[in-house]
Each structure stands twice: as structure tokens, then as C-alpha cells.
Structure 1
Amino acid sequence: MPGDLPEHYFRIRENGAAVFRVDTENRQRRIELDEIAMVNVRNGNIKPHGDAELTQADLDAIADWLAERRALLERRETDDILRTVDHLNLTTHWAQSRATPEQLERVTDALLLAMHDLRSTLVRKKAERLLQGDGSDA
């Protein structure tokens, strides 16, 4: 099993990860995680932990993880938006077929304001893209 473990472990945090070297080469053959760095997904900053010196292999592993993590977060963000479209459709069906007047009274203003804000933003962004000559959305 120790031969199957990666050389680095990334403990996900709010804006990135704590980076550990995985060590199985000790007398007890236990798995040890030595924290070597913090990485920020948003700005790409890599800060060595304590007096840890990062090797080129460490930096390469962190760069690979960072690229994969950013791609994953981008896919998740897009998926979340598409789920929102589904929820809007389900909300429309609920409002039309099952909602009580009291339920509608409780949610109508909040939904109308949120949808107005979203629509205004989407229309403005689409107009900006069209003015820039990106006719792919037309």
C-alpha cells in the first residue's frame, strides 16, 4: 500500500490548500504528513510552511494540483449555474401548480428582485459581448 500513495497530499481549505509531503520511509512504516506549504487558488501564491524548503518536484506537484483544482472549480461553478436554471424551472412549476397564496406572498418580492437583478446583469453582459464583436451569442 505505501507504494500506492502519492508523494503529496493537499488538504483543501477555503481559498486553496495546505500541502503535505507524504512520508512512509520511517522506522515504524507509518504514514506521516509533513506540512510544507500553503497554496492560494485565487492568486496562485505558494508560501512555504515554517522552514520547509520546496524542491522543484514539490513546486511541480503544486502547480499541477493548482491547475486541476482551478479547472474543477470552474466546472463546478458552471454546473451550479445550470442547476440554478433547473431550480428556476421547478420554482415556476411550484408557483403555478402547488404554491399557496401565503407561500407566494412570502417569496414573491425576493424572487422578483433577484430575477430582475439577474436579468439586468445578463442583458448588460450580452450587450457588451455583442458590442465587442463577439457574435457567437447572437
Structure 2
Amino acid sequence: MTSDLPDYYFRVRENGAFVFRIDTTSRDRRIEMEQIAIVNMRNGEIRPHGDRRLSPEDLERIRAWMEERADLLARREVDDILRTVDHLNLTAQWAQSRATDAQIDAVTDALLMAMHDLRSVLVRKKADRLMKAARD
């Protein structure tokens, strides 16, 4: 099993990750995880842990992980929005077929305001794109 382990482990946190170097060469066959850096995805900062100096290989591997992570998060974000579209469709079906008057009253104002806000943003963004395309 230990031979299949990666050289680095990234413990994901809300805004990035803690980066560990994996060592499987200890005499007692234990897996050692040594923290080497902290990554901030928001500002792209890679901060060495403690007094450590990161090697060019460390930095290369961390930057590659950051690119992969950013791509993954972008794909998830789009997927979440597409799930929202599905959820809106399910909500419409629920409202039409199963919801009681009391349930409709409980959700109508919040849904209408959220949908109005979303529609306003989408229409404005689309108009901006169309105007920009017409200028170019």
C-alpha cells in the first residue's frame, strides 16, 4: 500500500490547503506526514510552514495542485448552478401538484424576490455582453 501513496498530500480547507510531504521510508513502516506549506487559493499565496524552504519541485507540485483545484472548483460551481435549475423545475412541479396553500404562502415571497433578483442580474449581464459584442 505505501508504495502507491503520492509524494504530497493536500488537506483541503475552506480557502486553500495545508500541504504535507509524505514519507514512507521510516524503519517502522509508518507513514510520516510533514507539513511543508499553507496554500491560499483566494490570493494565490504559497507560504512555507515554519522556517522551511520549499524546493523548486515542491513549488511546482503545489502550483499544479492549485491549477487542478481551481479547475475542479469552477466545474463544481457550474454544476451547482445547473442543479439549481433542476431544483427550480422540481419546485415548480411541487407548487403545481402537491403544495398546500399554507406551504405556497410560506415560500412565495422569498422565491419571488430571489427569482426577481436573479433575473435582474442575468438580464443585465446578457445586455452587457450583447452591447460589448456589438461594439467589437
| 2: CA distance, partners of 1:2 / 1:93 | 51
| Structure 2: stretches of 5+ with no match in the other structure | none
Gaps of 5+ in 1: none
Kindly report the root-mean-square deviation, in angstroms, between the aligned alpha carbons of the 2 structures: 0.9
Matched residue, 1:115:
115
Alignment partner, residue 30 of structure 1? 30
TM-score, with structure 2 as normaliser: 0.96
Alignment partners' CA distance in 2, 1:33 and 1:67: 23
- TM-score w.r.t. structure 1 length? 0.94
Task: Determine what percentage of the aligned residue pairs are the same residue.
Answer: 66
How far apart in 2 are the matches of 1:47 and 1:76? 26
Number of the residue aligned with 1:106? 106
**Residues of 1 paired with 2:36 and 2:6: CA distance?**
15
Count of aligned pairs? 134
Q: Match of 2:30, as an amino acid?
A: R
For residues 1-138 of structure 1, the aligned pairs below 5 Å read: 1-133=1-133
- Which letter does structure 1 place at the counterpart of 2:4? D
> Runs in 1 of length 4+ with deviation above 6 angstroms?
none
One-letter code of the match for 1:127?
A
Say which SS state the counterpart of residue 33 (structure 2) adopts.
strand
Q: What residue identity is the alignment partner of 2:74? A: E
